[in-house]
Amino acid sequence: MINLYNTQIESLSIHKVGNKSRNESVILSQSPYKLDDELTPLIKEFFFKPFRDKEETYYQFTHESDLEFHPLYNLISQLFDNPDNAHQLSLEITKHLYAQSEHPHIKSGEVYVTYLENMQIDNEKVDGVGIFKSEIKQDFLLFDEKENQLDLILQQGINLNKLDKGCLIFNTKKEEGYKVLSVDSNKYDTRYWLESFLGVSLFEDENFYTKKYLKFCQDFARDVVLPAEDKQQEVMFMNRSVNYFAKNDEFEESNFMNEVIDNPELHPEFKHYKQEKAPKYHIEDVSNFPIANNAVTAARKKIKNIINLDTNIQIKMDFINPDSAERFIEKGWDEEKQMYYYLVYFNKEQKT
């Protein structure tokens, strides 16, 4: 989990890269840009807002041979070793980006390279590097006030509410290739940013595996438990799954299956579903891993514990203890009405 509230921009260098295949040039500023008190909060919001609004999926620099041959990894390492050389290294980072800008679809744009202090990741304070790119220009109007007349002036500029591309590189896990977050609002050229320029792959740590395995469980509940049983059992399965993750520090697959899957007939179905779907979630070789509590908390918020009925009634099963669903809710069939029913037990109604 990251916290950018107290992050400070210690240096900012602004350059421009064109499309190399169209013979557009690269423009390199001779010196860093000096932010003032009025512009700083706007620029920070422009850079950081996309990362607050996005699910945290971490990447790491990777190379088929060795990280020492990774151009951007080496530049970032030099920058962390010598922050005073940030502007000079920003020139090399921009040249590297320009070298990857050869596909006809890639747009020219401004590049912002920042050295950041007081970032927080996983409750640890670290420095970081931010690389951002703005591509899409928007029209806006300026007004020229004269004595008895207002004139319109059409200009083009950057929308501060939308960053086109960006990454945050945290000075942690250096040996593994650092921890990297990336955003890209233009999906048509994702390979250019993630693969060609950044050269990253998914950072497969406990946070990654916890999120991926819980997502796998959620899809198993929808695709297998629901058709085999009913909506109540689907919700109960997910409640038991999340609670298993919440109360354990380590995940062990056979233990998980015994605790969470009540119906023995679903055990082979679970194994078959994993064998078939595991590559999609990057868990094909995973049966044991440390559990990340932050990922469990985030997953719990996203799971819908609601049974929607065709009689325009909803039953929300908001349980910390999933056994409540078995103790206080019964499902049955009414022969006279030829309809299913849920019988709910309670002591008293709670005031809202």
Q: What mean pLDDT do residues 214-221 have?
A: 93
Provide the residue type at 223 as one letter: D
Q: What pLDDT is attached to residue 57? A: 85
Q: What pLDDT is attached to residue 323? A: 63
Give the other-Cβ count within 10 Å of 229's Cβ: 17
Alpha helices in 11-85 (DSSP H): 40-52, 71-81
Q: What mean pLDDT do residues 203-230 have?
A: 91
349: which residues sit within 8 A by CB, 6+ positions away? none
Q: What pLDDT is attached to residue 21? A: 86
Strand partners, 306: 316
Q: Say whether pLDDT at 105 is over 70.
A: yes
Which long-range contacts does 259-262 make (Cβ < 8 Å, 24+ apart)? 261/237
Both tokens of 90, joined, read: 């920003």
Question: How far is Cα 88 from Cα 192, in angstroms, rounded to an integer?
Answer: 24
Query: By mean pLDDT, which of 115-124, 129-138, 298-307 is the weakest?
Result: 298-307
Task: Locate the domains of the chain by residue range.
Answer: 2-203, 207-344
Q: What pLDDT is attached to residue 120? A: 93
Binned at pLDDT 50, 70 and 90, residue 147 comes out as confident
| Beta strands at 329-334 and 339-344: parallel, antiparallel or unpaired | antiparallel
- Tell me which residue of 214, 203, 239 sits closest to 326, measured CA to CA: 239
Query: By mean pLDDT, which of 155-169, 267-281, 295-309 is the weakest?
Result: 295-309
Query: By mean pLDDT, which of 208-212, 296-300, 317-321, 348-352 is the weakest?
Result: 317-321
- Percent over 90 (pLDDT), the chain: 54
Residue of 189 and 262 predicted with greater confidence: 262
Cβ atoms of 203 and 296 within 8 Å: the answer is no
Q: What is the dihedral of CA 86, 89, 95, 96, to 10 degrees?
A: -110
Strand partners, 169: 129, 180
Average pLDDT value for the chain: 89
Give the other-Cβ count within 10 Å of 100's Cβ: 19
Q: Say whether pLDDT at 321 is over 80.
A: no
Cβ atoms of 45 and 139 within 8 Å: the answer is no
Q: How would you class 171 by CB atoms within 10 Å of its CB: exposed for 0-12, middle for 13-18, buried for 19 or more? A: buried
Q: Say whether pLDDT at 322 is over 70.
A: no
How many angstroms separate the Cα of 296 from the Cα of each of 207, 300, 315? 9, 6, 24
Q: How would you class 119 by CB atoms within 10 Å of its CB: exposed for 0-12, middle for 13-18, buried for 19 or more? A: buried
Q: What mean pLDDT do residues 215-221 have?
A: 93
Strand partners, 329: 344
Q: What mean pLDDT do residues 273-281 have?
A: 91
Question: How far is Cα 73 from Cα 169, in angstroms, rounded to an integer?
Answer: 10
Both tokens of 190, joined, read: 């994702």
Q: What mean pLDDT do residues 34-58 have?
A: 90
Question: How far is Cα 56 from Cα 33, in angstroms, rounded to an integer?
Answer: 29
The helix-helix angle for 266-281 and 206-220 (nearest 10°) equals: 130
